[in-house]
Structure 1
Amino acid sequence: MGYINYNRYSLYYETMGNGEPLLMIHGNTASSIMLKEEALYYSKYYKVILIDMIGHGKSKRLKVFPEDYWYENVKILSKLCDKLNLNKINILGVSGGAILGLNFAIYNSQIVNKVIADSFIGEKLTLQEAYKIKDEREIAKRNGVDQFWKSMHGEEWETVVDADSKMLINYAKKYGDNFKNNLDKITCPVLITGSLKDNLINDIDKKLLEVAKKIKTSLTIFTSDGNHPLMISKKKFFRNIAIRFLNGNL
């Protein structure tokens, strides 16, 4: 475990296991803690690299997240891959981590082997959706979700949640497209997954199929079981398809 520093950011990471690299990325307002159990499972087959995205978990706390959030994360993750001398990288990203994983593949196609993108909002983020996320989080603070956030980030959890909400609103205002119309630049195999009963993302099938249409090397799997995220809510099912995909047997 350690930190990688770039500009004003300091990103936490830890590694476990041996073999081909598997970069695992959590979603917005979560942290690597959420994926620890799954990381231990995948570390039996791969060298797992767990990270905390900018401003999350054990990474340096920020009151304001960078405006171009996904690209700034891509840049510091690229530095981490250089530091660890990683090549032929497999990526497993969930929710916001899936958006980051696909962006990483856009800008680092030469070192990415495969990407699994689970349970994410899709290509577009409208201003209405961003404000809705902020409002839902304000309600969640009073409905027990604060304990989850505290377990992810410690006593300063609200700083993380509020900074992320503001970032999403600003991102929707300036960009509106999580991939800046670059999805067609992805050349590696991509597995897109989601639950049709996702409790956080409306019309997830339509949104993710729009992404899949723009990635010629993509495969999409939905199930009527589970909720958000599929990776955590249906662990056995997800592990099976993920391992088969990474091994080239899906």
Structure 2
Amino acid sequence: RVILMDFLGNGQSDRVECFPENLWTTQADQVLALVEHLNLKKVNLLGTSGGAWVAVNTALKRPDLVEHVIADSFDGRTLHDGFAENLRKEREYAKQDQEARQFYEWCQGEDWEKVVDLNTQALITCAVNKTPLFCKSLESLDTPILFMGSLEDDMCRQDMLEEYKEMDRLVGNGKIYMFETGGHPAALSNAESAARVITDFLNGQSLN
């Protein structure tokens, strides 16, 4: 069973006036509310890009409800120094690109530009204020977690593999898988291979 979630303010969910700068913590609360509403037990979470922080925070908040976490294509414990400026440039470029505009509309609906602008502002505020990305220390995470990404991903920090290794050292039950090629996020740019890696991880098999 696979559940795809539109967070508040996104996709087909109700709109909000603004997104908080601790976006990934409040979105974790939304995940938990949905899990409890559907009376689900021990879910597996796949979060990619910003969703990776959501998945980790969800497991930090309620490890009793989370079986595994796949954290794909994200910056780790902190946002890299150029994150805010890179994001601003990337979003402005994307809003002028026809394919990107179509993608945003497909994801968010006709009001996609307002949604994207609100999201951009929240993330820039988070970066500038150095808002904590995790609600608790990573050392307290016991849930099995897979850190996944692509070495060619130019939207994440250049030392992503080293950052993943540092996080893996902190958590109790982590694994790392990096694709040699592919863009952002790895789960999309390496979709079929990523599906195999994730399935092996969930089944407790070695990651080749």
Q: Residue in 2 aligned with 1:156? A: 111
> 1:50 & 1:246 partners in 2: Cα distance?
18
Q: How does 1:58-137 map to 2 (within 5 A)?
A: 58-125=12-79, 128-137=82-91
Specify the code of the residue in structure 2 equivalent to 1:124. T
Q: Residue in 1 aligned with 2:122? A: 167
Q: Does 1:243 align with 2:199?
A: yes
> 1:170 & 1:229 partners in 2: Cα distance?
23
TM-score of the two chains, using structure 2 as the length reference = 0.90
Q: How does 1:1-250 map to 2 (within 5 A)?
A: 47-125=1-79, 128-144=82-98, 145-180=100-135, 182-203=137-158, 204-250=160-206
> 2:120 & 2:163 partners in 1: Cα distance?
21
Render the CA deviation track for 1:175-196: whole Å, top value 9, x for unaligned.
4431155211110110111110
Specify the code of the residue in structure 2 equivalent to 1:213. R
Specify the code of the residue in structure 1 equivalent to 2:87. I
Secondary structure of the 2:107 match is: helix
> 1:211 & 1:131 partners in 2: Cα distance?
25
The answer to whether the 8 Å contact 1:125/1:177 transfers is no
Q: How much has 1:152 moved relative to structure 2?
A: 0.9
* 108-117 vs 138-147, greater mean Cα deviation: 138-147
Render the CA deviation track for 1:131-175: whole Å, top value 9, x for unaligned.
320222112211232221111112111111110111012222344
Structure richer in helix, relative to its length: 2
Matched residues, number:
204
- Structure 1: any 5+ residue segments left out of the alignment? 1-46
> 1:176 & 1:82 partners in 2: Cα distance?
27
Q: How much has 1:60 moved relative to structure 2?
A: 1.3
- Structure 2: any 5+ residue segments left out of the alignment? none
Secondary structure of the 1:198 match is: coil
Specify the code of the residue in structure 2 equivalent to 1:165. T
Q: How much has 1:126 moved relative to structure 2?
A: 5.2
Relative contact order (alpha carbons < 8 A, sep ≥ 6): 1 or 2 greater?
A: 2
Structure richer in strand, relative to its length: 1
> CA RMSD, aligned part only?
1.7
The answer to whether the 8 Å contact 1:101/1:117 transfers is yes
- Going from structure 1 to structure 2, the CA distance change for 1:173 and 1:181 (only over 3 Å counts) comes to farther
Secondary structure of the 1:62 match is: coil
TM-score of the two chains, using structure 1 as the length reference = 0.76
Q: How much has 1:127 moved relative to structure 2?
A: 6.5
